[in-house]
């Protein structure tokens, strides 16, 4: 119900106004009446109505003064002035101070309903715009916080510093610590996206109530369906005094009351925003080593490092690249990415438990893509598909990856049969254009969109929807992939030549970008891949 108050000094007219329509039947509730301006202001302060009907001529405080006061104190309250013909000019002036509408005496049921419909529409439009603004702000905030835990943040960007100040983050003084919360068994239970969102919402709400610290907590959705708790300690020694038992209570409450379980990985605390990425990596390592270390629901990175000498960190970028090529239905690149992951696992000499966890994550990624296509698992994969049984029964990494490769190629071939949309065709053409022009160091989104006579925003939207990445990220990915091929081609190309061939005029900038993206310098990559 939309709450309404009626303010008029004539009792007869207030009675008429109350009974001229069936307020309740039209979604309105009259929550009070007032016979003068002062009484009306007190009523509005007490009831906080959505709409106030105010007569211009009232004792003690006239309608114009009352309207101005209400708009100053309660701008969200809509005001409809009730006026006679002789006061028409006053009503027109009132619109300038924020009055939403006016209605002339005498009026009938239809005129009142039209005035209400107009105000109601304006209220609904305002609410939608506020919701949209709030959603955009939340999306921007989540994107910014994800940037802090990614490889993209360099610590020398003025815009980044400006954004940090908006969140009251002090790079030079504060200590930061990252805690990652992972929902257990997502790949086993296969809940739909709505169920996953509900679970993450439950986690975020409980974190708000359970975690207390001398500083601030930023909660957001991170990679791979994790919920991230970023702590900023604003008091000296706050990290030492911080009690982590809230995370243990989180695990216990979720398991007891909500029918699922979570694992918490806790990184160490360090100074400055640049440490956030390192702390996040530590929290993921803690999550990934839970089974191998036989630990509880809350896993501390510091405990793992004290008990194990060989801690593996599986880069999320490897999964992101794999998902990209799965979306592109590129079977050769899918095979290459899975081979790279297999080689990484073998070179790291990881434990069998951790290998099983990575394999389960790869299966989960493929299932996520199948749901993304709007398909059911049983429509794409065999009816007797049992991932956990298959993973744990494979005698070797090679046989396990043969099985996983078959799953990915089946999903890719199935999605090829889906009719391409207009945006899909534009994406294909844009990719071909980038593949032909990536060596141009000046290649920008505007150049590509201009070539196809479309708006840059539309092209950005297509890449985000179809590939889950920006155009610039795709250009970067293309350049890095070509650079890798050139480095191991055996042609003994100079670094300067390679950087120019993939669109970098400055070899130093190319080397820095390559290492940030792959974890290795160009020379290190060449040595490790050509042994």
In terms of DSSP bridges, do strands 175-183 and 262-266 run parallel, antiparallel, or are they unpaired? antiparallel
Angstrom distance (rounded) from CA 79 to CA 132: 24
Average pLDDT, rounded, for the chain: 81
Beta strands (DSSP E) in 185-331 are 215-221, 227-233, 262-266, 270-271, 298-300
- Please, are residues 354 and 348 in contact by the beta-carbon 8 Å criterion? no
- Looking at residue 265, its pLDDT comes to 92
**Using an 8 Å Cβ cutoff, are 503 and 440 in contact?**
yes
Residues 2/29, Cβ–Cβ less than 8 Å: yes
- Residue 87: its pLDDT value, please? 61
State the burial class of residue 520 (Cβ atoms within 10 Å of its Cβ: 0-12, 13-18, 19+).
middle
Residue 221's Cβ-count burial label (10 Å; 0-12, 13-18, 19+) is middle
Helix axes 471-487, 507-518, angle to 10 degrees: 100
pLDDT of residue 309: 44
For residue 180, what pLDDT is reported? 95
What is the torsional sign of CA 450, 452, 455, 456? negative
How far is Cα 43 from Cα 515, in angstroms, rounded to an integer? 66
Return the SS3 of 76.
coil
Residues 131 and 204 sit within 8 Å (Cβ to Cβ): no
Extract the tokens encoding 435.
Answer: 């593949």
DSSP count for the chain of H helices, then E strands: 26, 11
Tell me the DSSP string of 427-449. HHHHHHHHHHHTT-TT--HHHHH
| Residue ranges in the chain whose pLDDT is less than 50 | 169, 291-294, 307-311, 419
Contact residues for 141 (Cβ-Cβ < 8 A; gap 6+): 167, 220
Sheet holding 78-83: strands in order across? 28-34, 2-7, 51-55, 78-83, 101-104
Q: Which of 242, 321, 236, 316 is nearest to 281 (CA)?
A: 316
Helix (H, G, I), strand (E, B) or coil at 108: coil
> Cα separation of 161 and 244, whole Å?
29
- The secondary structure of 151-200 as a DSSP string is S---S--HHHHHHHHHTT--TTT-EEEEEEEEETTHHHH---HHHHHHHH
In order, the DSSP letters of 316-367 are: HHHHHHHHHHHHTT-HHHHHHHHHHHHHHHHHHT--HHHHHHHHHHHHHHHH
Contacts of 227 (CB under 8 A, 6+ apart): 180, 181, 200, 203, 204, 207, 219, 220, 221
pTM of the predicted model, to two decimals? 0.43
Q: Are 490 and 496 in contact (CB under 8 A)?
A: no
Parallel, antiparallel or unpaired: strands 215-221 and 227-233: antiparallel
pLDDT tens, position by position, 354-371: 777 888 888 888 887 887
Instruction: Measure the CA–CA gap between 101 and 115, rounded to whole angstroms.
Output: 7
Name the helix (H) or strand (E) containing 128.
helix 109-148
The pLDDT value given to residue 181: 95
Give the Å distances, CA to CA, from 477 to 146, 317, 318, 442, 502.
19, 11, 12, 16, 11
pLDDT digits (tens, 9 = 90+) for 37-46: 999 999 999 9
């Amino acid at each position: 119900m939309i709450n309404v108050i009626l303010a008029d000094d004539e009792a007869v007219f207030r009675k008429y106004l109350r009974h001229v329509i069936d307020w309740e039947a039209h979604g309105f509730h009259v929550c009070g009446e007032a016979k003068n301006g002062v009484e009306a202001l007190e009523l509005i302060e007490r009831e906080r109505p959505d709409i106030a009907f105010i007569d211009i001529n009232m004792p003690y405080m006239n309608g114009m003064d009352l309207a101005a006061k209400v708009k100053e104190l309660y701008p969200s309250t809509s005001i409809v002035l009730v006026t006679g013909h002789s006061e028409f000019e006053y009503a027109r002036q009132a619109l300038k101070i924020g009055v939403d509408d006016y209605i002339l005496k005498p009026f009938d049921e239809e005129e009142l309903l039209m005035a209400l419909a107009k105000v109601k529409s304006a209220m609904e439009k305002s609410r939608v715009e506020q919701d949209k603004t709030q959603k955009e702000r939340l999306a921007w905030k989540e994107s910014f916080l994800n940037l802090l835990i990614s490889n993209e943040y360099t610590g020398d960007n003025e815009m980044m510093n400006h954004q940090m100040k908006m969140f009251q983050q002090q790079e030079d003084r504060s200590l930061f610590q990252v805690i990652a919360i992972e929902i257990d068994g997502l790949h086993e239970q296969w809940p739909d996206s709505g169920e996953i969102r509900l679970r993450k919402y439950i986690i975020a709400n409980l974190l708000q109530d359970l975690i207390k610290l001398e500083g601030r907590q930023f909660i957001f959705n991170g990679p791979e369906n994790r919920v991230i708790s970023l702590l900023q300690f604003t008091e000296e020694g706050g990290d030492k005094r911080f009690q982590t038992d809230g995370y243990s209570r989180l695990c216990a409450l979720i398991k007891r009351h909500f029918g699922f379980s979570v694992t918490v990985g806790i990184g160490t605390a360090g100074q400055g925003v640049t440490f956030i990425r390192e702390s996040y990596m530590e929290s993921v390592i803690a999550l990934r080593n839970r089974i191998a270390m036989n630990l509880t629901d809350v896993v501390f990175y510091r405990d793992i490092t004290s008990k194990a000498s060989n801690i593996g960190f599986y880069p999320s970028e490897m999964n992101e690249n794999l998902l990209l090529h799965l979306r592109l239905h590129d079977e050769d690149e899918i095979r290459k990415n899975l081979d790279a992951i297999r080689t990484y696992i073998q070179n790291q000499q990881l434990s069998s438990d951790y290998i099983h966890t990575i394999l389960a994550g790869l299966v989960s990624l493929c299932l996520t893509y199948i749901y993304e296509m709007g398909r059911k698992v049983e429509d794409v994969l065999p009816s007797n598909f049992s991932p956990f049984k298959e993973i744990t029964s494979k005698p070797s990494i090679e046989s396990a990856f043969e099985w996983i490769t078959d799953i990915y190629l089946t999903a890719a071939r199935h999605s090829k049969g889906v009719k391409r949309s207009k945006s899909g065709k534009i994406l294909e053409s844009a990719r071909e254009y980038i593949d032909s022009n990536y060596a141009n160091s000046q290649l920008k989104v505007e150049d590509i969109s201009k070539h196809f006579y479309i708006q840059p925003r539309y092209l950005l939207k297509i890449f985000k929807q179809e590939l889950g990445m920006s155009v610039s990220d795709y250009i970067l990915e293309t350049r890095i992939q070509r650079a890798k091929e050139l480095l191991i081609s055996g042609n003994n190309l100079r670094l300067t030549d390679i950087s120019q061939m993939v669109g970098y005029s400055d070899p130093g900038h190319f080397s820095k970008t390559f290492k940030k993206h792959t974890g290795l310098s160009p020379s290190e990559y060449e040595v490790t891949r050509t042994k």
